[in-house]
Structure 1
Amino acid sequence: MTAGLRVALGFMVLTFWARGQNASEVDLTPEIGPHSGDVTWSLRNHILTWNTPQLTLNLDPWFTLRHVSGTMSPLTQSPPTLTLDNLRGAHFDAQLDDIWRIEGSLEEMQGYIGAWEAVTMEEITALPGWGRAKIKSDGRVDVARARVISSCNSVSSQGDSLSFIVAYAPLEWGNLPSPITFSDQSTSYPRASLAWVRPEQIQAKTTVARWTGTDRGPVGGSTEGLFRQTDACWTDLQWEGLPRWAFGMLGGAMRARPWIGELEEDSLNHFDWRPWLSMTTSWTTKSDHIRIAGEWASHQGWGLAATWRPKPSWFVTASTTRLLELTGTSISLLNAGTPVSAVLRPAGLTKAVFRNEFQFLWTDKTWKAGGNCAMAGTLLVAEAWLGFCLHRVWPLHVTLGAEIWQGAASSNFPSEGARLRVGLSHQLGMTPGSTTFTSP
């Protein structure tokens, strides 16, 4: 029996069944399909809200426009034609059928790469946090990215929850300010997770993902070769059974996908599954003013961080990370040529090294201020910024940011320099001090 015949017979059975039903018992009015709904605009809430019987969608713009002055580019002696950072995009969140929650953003950036990003790029087109980018001769970058997370959650009568998550976005693991396994500021990748949570006790999650490499396969037909893919999977367990203590363990494995014929010719086990392990812990004082966090990762090293938050309006964090020496057998968790963790070391630095970092943030109803300083090997990068809120309901800020660096061992970036950025930002989509692409 062909597929078309089976569909036809099924339609006939459904038709005869429907004819025998009372009109009050069956409603053949279609509930699935497009609905015009109601669209509202506002400058006091979300700029756009779309409501239908099945969907509620909120949309907000993100933009940052800044003038940049200071050290620009080592590649040319001529002055740059445009000294602007320009980030444009939109953020959305939606509720579908009261079951699915969907959230994401679309962003595009033209501007100058921050010092930390420029010095840590392993390839000239691999921009941390974004992926493949176009780098112009004057040092400006042209790049775009998307992030989306959809989740379905079910809660039992005992309070336990079971969630299914499908995403094209990074995720975070641990409590270090610069995570050494997974960072939610890394480049987006497709993943799916199944998570179970018992509140304030234990939670477990299993994830499968696929990362994109930088080497191309054989050219096929009229198209260029595809980038190599890497399959990855991991399971994490977090336990909060002791007062003020939390513990976590994550174990995973990855495997590069071979091209046709490569697996048969592989004599060095390049395509075997390669495992890694991470363990985390954190302790918080009874007042919640101080938190100590730590993480050990088999492929990266270990890190410790201390956070002091005497008031909800500000905090200070200091951390140190000991990075392992990179050898020919080291495991590197990469997507689009960039780490899935935070970017921890300058490009080309393979020896074991300490990475130290200091962060602070202060905010009130009108002003926001923050800063960050990171050191690894000979590289020192520091930034500080200040933002003034012009409009609270429509969160528009005037920003001033400074960035300095020294000891950059890169042929594509000055060894030392400083930049000043002055601009206008909605939602503070970029840190005002540099293009670190994260809301402070």
Structure 2
Amino acid sequence: MSMVPNHQTLDAFQRTVALAKDTLQSPGFSCEWQDRAAKCGIVLSTLNAYKKHLLSCHCNSNRAPGSWQECKLPKCNSRNHRSFADLAEHIESGHLARMPLQCPVADCVQQRLLKVSDLPQHIRDHHMDVCNRFMPASYFLPTLRPRPASIQAPPPIPDGPIWLVQVQPGLRPREPRLSQLMSQGTQQKRIPRNARQIPKAKGKGSTEEAGNDDDDDDDESEDFDLDMDNLEQFDCSTMKAQVQLGRSILVGERAAKLDIDLSRPGPMLDPHFYGLREAPQSIYFPAFNRYAEESLEKQAREKEEEEKKKAVGMLAGQNAVLKEVKSREEEAEEAAASVVPDLRIHTEMPPGGEAMIIDPPTPEATIPTPPVSNLKSTTSLPVSPSLKITVPPLPSRVKSS
């Protein structure tokens, strides 16, 4: 006859499976989420802690509205999901359900690990007494479930007014001061100031030396007296007026920030920033190569800038030289135009004279000037290819040799 479990038995199975997910396991669960070509590697002690780590640290970090959620666990046949809820359900049913769990019963004879789906059958076969009644905590293995604190209800608030009780702070006993001891009349020995004031042991020495030492002590005791009559004595009664004996009590509401549970450990560090960061142990070839490449690139840039500056300077020098040559050519043309003569002789001819044009002389020919005393001539120097001379009729012709 097959035994059909009732609703209470099913609830007990579910509670036992939930307890197994919170049971501490010695190897732990290593996080296999692979992001940025490296595994997370954080070891969690329980299955529920592993689930919380996956959802809060990995899935929630890649969460973006309106985007696909990707599962980065190994051996996954369905990586992309439409929402965060779909991804969480996929991790719960597709990955965490295959994780081996340990039986939460402490005296279990079966040492092998069980899947979540096989755990209810194992409890039905070996630990049926768990389903019928509540067992003490010592019957199960240690779990990560925090024990709820037992908080007693505060007394009711009184209806009448609350009177303020004057409370005076207690006085801490302290050692008496030197001035107080001296004021009480206690006689203290004076501190010796030199070697002659130190008392010597009684021996076989001569009585004369002992008598001389006593005389010296009496003479010098007046100079090294520790009693300071001009120093005011300390009086505690004058300080009591300056001490506030009353206390002020502040009654107010609790702030909202004080509701944070500070007794629990803080959240886990983000593995994207702390789990994959490896500090360099030394400057090996990759770091040195990067440094050398940066220095070579810097030198090449400086050399290129220097060549550009040099080319710009040479071009400016050439332009200056061309400008100087052009200005000198213009000055030479102006000087040549002012130096070349054009002789033009204007004479007043008598009536009946004839005008005669004579070609300019060659370097081999000379033109002698006839002695004419009645001529009025002017000379000008314009530039002209021919020489025009106007003279009166002469008795003889001008010959050119």
Above 0.5 in TM-score? no
Given the two structures, how large is their TM-score scaled by the length of structure 1? 0.16
Query: Higher helix fraction: Structure 1 or Structure 2?
Result: 2
Query: Of the two, which has the highest radius of gyration?
Result: 2
Q: Specify which structure has the bigger relative contact order, considering alpha-carbon pairs within 8 angstroms and separated by 6 or more residues.
A: 1
Given the two structures, how large is their TM-score scaled by the length of structure 2? 0.17
